[in-house]
Structure 1
Amino acid sequence: MPAIYPDSRLPIHSRPSAALGVLVCEHNGNPPFAESSFIRRLNLIGAAEGLTLFAFSPWTWDAHTDSVKGWVWNERKQLWVSSKYKLPTVVYDRSWPETEKEKQRYQLALQRIRAVKRITFLNNQLPNKEKVHQLLLQERALRPILPPTMLYKGPESLVSWLRKQENSAFLKPVAGSQGRRVIAIVRSQDGMLTLSGRHSDNRPFTLNRVNEAEALQRLDGWIGKRRYIMQPLLELKGLDDEPFDLRALMQKNNKGRWTLTGIAARVGAPGTVTSNLHGGGIAASAKEALTTVVGEQRGSELLQEINKMCFLIVTRLEQSLGRFAEIGLDYGVERSGKLWFLEANSKPGRAAMGSAGKEAAHKAAEQPLSYARSILLRPPGRVIHEFDHL
């Protein structure tokens, strides 16, 4: 049966106090927004737990009726159905604006709502990668796993960085995600540069042995006005030269306490520079991947170390930035067994968690809802102590 998306004119549903809204960027097509499979799963879990949940775009808000166009998955009919809902008081941001124009539309719509309405975001937003790095440097125990990091300030800054970092560098946008627009640079003994990375649509590219002056000029034009950070080109590869990293998913439970949902490995194609699933990588067992690269004993030690680091990181971020419900944390491991923290993500994906086990895969979708439900049903004046794990 083909999916249809009826835009009904039914009376507005009146369940604002017990509804969770999932923020999306609605568009024409099938399905009507990104991450529809994940949001459909949220609908099903929410329904089983008695939680009203619908997806909506902020620009559908009608100030006169205080309503939005909400989408709910109808399991019996196997299609998305839209209706009018009261603006929810708690929202879960899973929006993915595809263009700068759509990003501006989304932000302006949210500003319009927040100017007159009070809504609670289930998850806070992280600042850019440079600011996150500076925040984490304040935690002494984290410094050994944080790669040296500097802002890109033009070709001269990169030349200086290459000199300091043994003729290689890794550049990534401070506001980027999913491995897009990253670039690895290697300078050979004769001064020629090889550039490899990914375009904005995640397609890989390689430029072999380019004259340094030309390469720096082309790279600077490619970066344009975007802000980039420079880091060492870490050797985060498996035995077959395939890039791999580890994704740890930290989430709050229904008591507001941080828990480690799971750790999964992400493995890219040999010769590429990233392992992100959006860029063609595959998920694998973290334990098996680590055992293959560094051996069983060191692999087990690394998993314990990552567990410890995860709680330190989310605590530091939350103390500085406010409440979060979940954060994805990415780590890299060199063949020597050296652990590095790569970056944090406040809109973590779920695909890799299937490789961390069935329980982790279920919790990855269920825990944001149980945490949201605890907020929605919290008696006025009651405070959940969210640092009880310390």
Structure 2
Amino acid sequence: MPDTSPVSDINRVHTARSSFGILICEREGYPPFAESSYLKRLSLLGPALGLQTFAFDPLTWDQEDDSVKCWSWNSRMRKWEASRRKFPDIAYDRAWPETKEEKRRYRLAMGRIRAYRRFVLLSGNLPHKAKVYEMLARDREIAAIIPPTVRYRGPSSLASWLQKHRPGVFLKPIAGSQGKRVVAVVQAADGTVELTGRHGDNRPLFRSCASETEALNRLNKWIGGRTYIMQPLLNLRGNSGEAFDLRVLMQKDSNGRWSLTGAAARIGAPGSVTANLHGGGTATAAAETLVSLFGRPRGNELIQEIDKFSYLIAVRLEQSFGRFAEIGLDYGIERNGKLWFLEANSKPGRAAMIPVGRDAAIAAAAQPLSYAKFILLRLATTDARRLPRESAALHLGG
């Protein structure tokens, strides 16, 4: 039966001993938020762990009675219902503000709540890509898989890198996600330059320029005042020339320990410079794809390398930037079998885990709830200030 329109009673306030709130940005339509399928799965799994689960926009917080307008999945009626509940015991950030104005409103709403009350965030946020690369590159072991990375500082900086790195250079915004506004710059032997990437709305970008000067000027205008980083254009392609990378989902388990939930190979759409699913890519199980592309010996070695580096990187990120419940890690593998770390995401999606297998897909949704229960049990039995850093850096108020 399809979802039906909601019945709202937002003046009704519920209280719960253990509540799991999912931060969202409300929007037009029904349901009025992104990832409704994932949020519904969280709502169905929560009660088994004693967690009343609901979604809420921080803009709806009422300081007077410490309540929020929440959206709860009604399994019997098969629809989302709106009401008011007390602010949750723990909050899980799955908000996706899109425009500058939405981001501003969301930031101000969270700041307002932080100014008046303490609250527990399930997971922190990573800083921009350049800072993540800089930190990881200081680890001698991880540095071996970090691509050379510098900031874009205008046309002259890109011209210099084009001279050093053949066949081209890859540029991406330091705060971007989902493959948006990335661009590959490739110079041909006849002096022409091709720009291939994606616009901010994920539409494909392709421009052939007659000269390097034309390409650099066009690209500089397109970048505008945004901050970008540059890396060598790595040969991350499958057998048919399609863009290819790997997504690994690392999550904390019910004991607060890191676990590798699953690894997926993402294959880009024809002609795409990225393999992101939002850009039309598809996902398959990583193990079988690696064996198919690189043969069984090297394929199995790559699986072991990815497993090792994923744990190392998750630990290093947490040591430097605070506690996380989950992190998505992206890797690229060149045709010669060389492994590269591409980027980390503190708000990873779930779509890539579906082809990995039923267990991975279920765990991808269940682990945040299990880890939330772990945190709440610790808070109930121990003074948070005396807990070890691993389990007690609870992002109270931030």
Q: Normalising by the residue count of structure 1, what TM-score does the alignment of the two structures yield?
A: 0.96
- 1:31-70 equivalent positions in 2, closer than 5 A: 31-70=31-70
| Alignment partner, residue 7 of structure 1 | 8
1:192 aligned partner, one-letter code: T
Contact 1:256 1:384 in 2 (8 A): no
| Alignment partner, residue 381 of structure 1 | 383
2:331 aligned partner, one-letter code: Y
| Alignment partner, residue 249 of structure 1 | 249
2:13 and 2:46 map into 1 onto residues whose CA distance is 20
1:211 and 1:139 map into 2 onto residues whose CA distance is 40
The offset of 1:377, in angstroms, is 2.3
2:298 aligned partner, one-letter code: R
2:11 and 2:377 map into 1 onto residues whose CA distance is 27
Instruction: Note the alpha carbon deviations across 1:224-273, whole angstroms, 9 max, x for none.
Output: 11100000100000010011111110000111100111111111123210
- 1:336-347 equivalent positions in 2, closer than 5 A: 336-347=336-347
2:374 aligned partner, one-letter code: S
What SS class does the counterpart of residue 126 from structure 1 fall into? coil
The answer for unaligned runs of 5 or more in structure 1 is none
2:358 and 2:149 map into 1 onto residues whose CA distance is 37
What SS class does the counterpart of residue 29 from structure 2 fall into? coil
| Alignment partner, residue 293 of structure 2 | 293
RMSD: 1.4
Instruction: Note the alpha carbon deviations across 1:162-181, whole angstroms, 9 max, x for none.
Output: 11112410000000000000
| Alignment partner, residue 357 of structure 2 | 357
1:209 and 1:289 map into 2 onto residues whose CA distance is 36
Contact 1:91 1:122 in 2 (8 A): yes
| 1:18 counterpart = 2:18 | yes
What SS class does the counterpart of residue 316 from structure 2 fall into? helix
| Alignment partner, residue 123 of structure 1 | 123
What SS class does the counterpart of residue 302 from structure 1 fall into? helix
| Alignment partner, residue 306 of structure 2 | 306
What SS class does the counterpart of residue 171 from structure 1 fall into? strand
| Alignment partner, residue 273 of structure 1 | 273
1:88 and 1:29 map into 2 onto residues whose CA distance is 25
| Alignment partner, residue 171 of structure 2 | 171
1:83 and 1:48 map into 2 onto residues whose CA distance is 22
| 1:71 counterpart = 2:63 | no
The offset of 1:385, in angstroms, is 7.1
2:302 aligned partner, one-letter code: L
2:124 and 2:14 map into 1 onto residues whose CA distance is 27
| Alignment partner, residue 157 of structure 1 | 157
After TM superposition, the structure 1 stretch with the greater mean CA deviation from structure 2, 47-56 or 195-204, is 47-56
The answer for unaligned runs of 5 or more in structure 2 is 392-398
1:150 and 1:64 map into 2 onto residues whose CA distance is 48
The offset of 1:375, in angstroms, is 1.2
The number of aligned residues is 386
